[in-house]
Amino acid sequence: MTNIAKSTFAVLLLVMAMSSAGFAAPANANYDESKVPSYTLPDLLLTLDGEKVTDAKTWEEKRRPEVLELFRKHMYGRSPGRPQQTSYQLKEISKQVFGGKATRKQITIHLANDQKHVDLDLLIYLPNKVKGPAPIFLGLNFMGNHSIESDPAIFLSKTKWFRNKKDAGYVNNRATEKSRGSSTARWPVEMIIDRGFGLATIYYGDIDPDYHDEFKNGVHGLFESGNQKRPGDAWGTISAWAWGLSRAMDYFETDEDIDQRRVAVFGHSRLGKTALWAGAQDERFAIVISNDSGCGGAALSKRCFGETLARMNRVFPHWNCENCKQYGGNEAALPLDQHMLIALVAPRPIYVASASGDLWADPKGEFLAAKHAQAVYALYGKKGLDVDDMPQLDKSVGHYIGYHIRTGKHNITAFDWRQYLKFAEKHFAK
């Protein structure tokens, strides 16, 4: 085969793999490294008035707030603070999970603002062998709390909106009994418990259902009526999901079985974008983990490789703020890039993971963003990735910035989890 025929064939295989993964990859997406436009990343260490940042203090007091503001204004939008009222209700508890190894708690977080209410159902597993408050992983789930384990004690809502997935028991945007445990492959709860960690999750649709309704439902509805014109930097759905993660963190601060200083926030794909934005804003999250988060997550937007901002903002118009839309197809004008999002987590440890068959999420762009974020870790005297080039497949690298590219497709697997557990063990060691 000629080189052109070979690369056409490779793109064809990729498109076929992506269609079988549940979405059609647009034919015009670029997967050719030689077609990546030349681009200049904004200098992380240069303030808006031209001062070079050379120490952690200037980063924290001057540059970090600027960078945070750039993401609020141009990417995800500006989130409100806590709602007027929050209360917690323990609805169910069992200390006998996994033959007595774990405790399961189901808590409802009641949020109220301006006479309006939203409930978030939080499912928590804690390791019984840990004496005192346990470290915990917190992440949103796509298919309901009942999907992460087949345990019939987990509440299953037949009235909430879900994405359709007939084979897994989601029909007419509702969950059926058949959907119990349908996502267990992504949630190795017992393995996490055995390693001495807790796990907490909320269904992302509790915070904001994942479709565009002009920001009336979900937690947006607590703060806005849906009738007034929204500013260009009003919060989108990724911001809302991230805000929901912070509300889970508020709850952790009240639960003496959870070590609020050792909370690792994680997420896969759009929920990986969410985990990054949550960890960037809320410094209570001690570790941040991005699994295959791609465009609008860990991947550099200016590379325009795989998914682009233009495509994302068109297909998912509710995810980012309105201001972001002007940068689709005009990435050169974007006054930020995703290395700056990773840097907002510094000096806290962060892990970025890619998958070899997930070119849509631009593994190289994810690696490069992690690499460019090192400059801020260096201000704290902390080593980031500590490698110059992408590591070989299935090899975890890095100190305060962890990275791997796993063989396989867009997913979160036991391999990914083993790396996150190791990373958390290393950084949470007392």
Decide if residue 294 touches ligand GCU (CB under 6 A).
yes
Total chain residues near ligand GCU (CB under 6 A): 8
One residue of 23, 46, 231, 425 binding ligand GCU per CB under 6 A: 23
**Residue 408 CB, nearest approach to ligand GCU (Å):** 15
Q: Is the Cβ of residue 76 or residue 428 nearer to ligand GCU in the bound state?
A: 76
Q: Which is nearer to ligand GCU, 295 or 397 (CB)?
A: 295
Q: Is 19 a catalytic residue?
A: no
Provide the minimum distance between the beta carbon of 307 and ligand GCU in the complex, in angstroms, as a whole number.
5
User: Which one of the listed residues 239, 269, 301, 396 is annotated catalytic?
Assistant: 269
Return the residue of 79, 269, 313, 413 that touches ligand GCU, per CB under 6 A.
Answer: 269
Write the Ramachandran bin of 148: left for phi over 0, alpha for psi from -120 to 50, otherwise beta: alpha
SS3 string, the chain, reads CCHHHHHHHHHHHHHHHHHHCCCCCCCCCECCHHHCCCCCCCCCCECCCCCECCCHHHHHHHHHHHHHHHHHHHHHCECCCCCCEEEEEEEEEEEEECCCCEEEEEEEEEEEECCEEEEEEEEEEEECCCCCCEEEEEEEECCCHHHCCCCCCCCCCCCCCCCCEHHHCEECCEECHHHCCCCHHHCCHHHHHHCCCEEEEEEHHHHCCCCCCCCCCCCHHHHCCCCCCCCCCECCHHHHHHHHHHHHHHHHCCCCCEEEEEEEEEEECHHHHHHHHHHHHCCCCCEEEEECCCECCCECHHHCCECCHHHHHHHCCCCCCHHHHHHCCCHHHCCCCHHHHHHCCCCCCEEEEEECCCHHHCHHHHHHHHHHHHHHHHHCCCCCCCCCCCCCCCCCECCCEEEEEECCCCCCCHHHHHHHHHHHHHHHCC
Task: Select the residue interacting with ligand GCU from 29, 97, 312, 369 (CB under 6 A).
Answer: 312
Of residues 67 and 298, the one with the C-beta less far from ligand GCU? 298
* Contact letters for ligand GCU, residues 325-364 (x by CB under 6 A): -----------------------------------x----
Taking the complex as a whole, the smallest distance from the CB of residue 186 to ligand GCU amounts, in Å, to: 12
29 is an interface residue for ligand GCU by CB under 6 A = no
In whole angstroms, the minimum distance from the beta carbon of 312 to ligand GCU comes to 6
The b/e string for 191-224 (b: 16+ C-beta within 10 A; e otherwise) is ebbebebbbbbbbbbbbbbbeeeebeebbbbbbb
- By beta-carbon proximity to ligand GCU, the closer residue of 233 and 307 is 307
- Minimum distance from residue 23 beta carbon to ligand GCU (Å): 5
Which residue's CB is nearer to ligand GCU, number 23 or number 155? 23
| Residue of 295, 321, 343, 346 interacting with ligand GCU (CB under 6 A) | 295
Question: From the CB of 269, what's the least distance to ligand GCU, in Å?
Answer: 3
Output 327 or 360, the one with its CB closest to ligand GCU: 360
269 is catalytic: yes
Q: Quick one: which of 208, 255, 307, 416 contacts ligand GCU (CB under 6 A)?
A: 307
Among 63, 105, 186, 270, binds ligand GCU (CB under 6 A): 270
Taking the complex as a whole, how short is the minimal distance between the CB of residue 315 and ligand GCU, in angstroms? 6
Per CB under 6 A, 249 contacts ligand GCU: no
**Site residues, ligand GCU (CB under 6 A):** 23, 269-270, 294-295, 307, 312, 360
By annotation, the residues acting in catalysis are: 269, 410
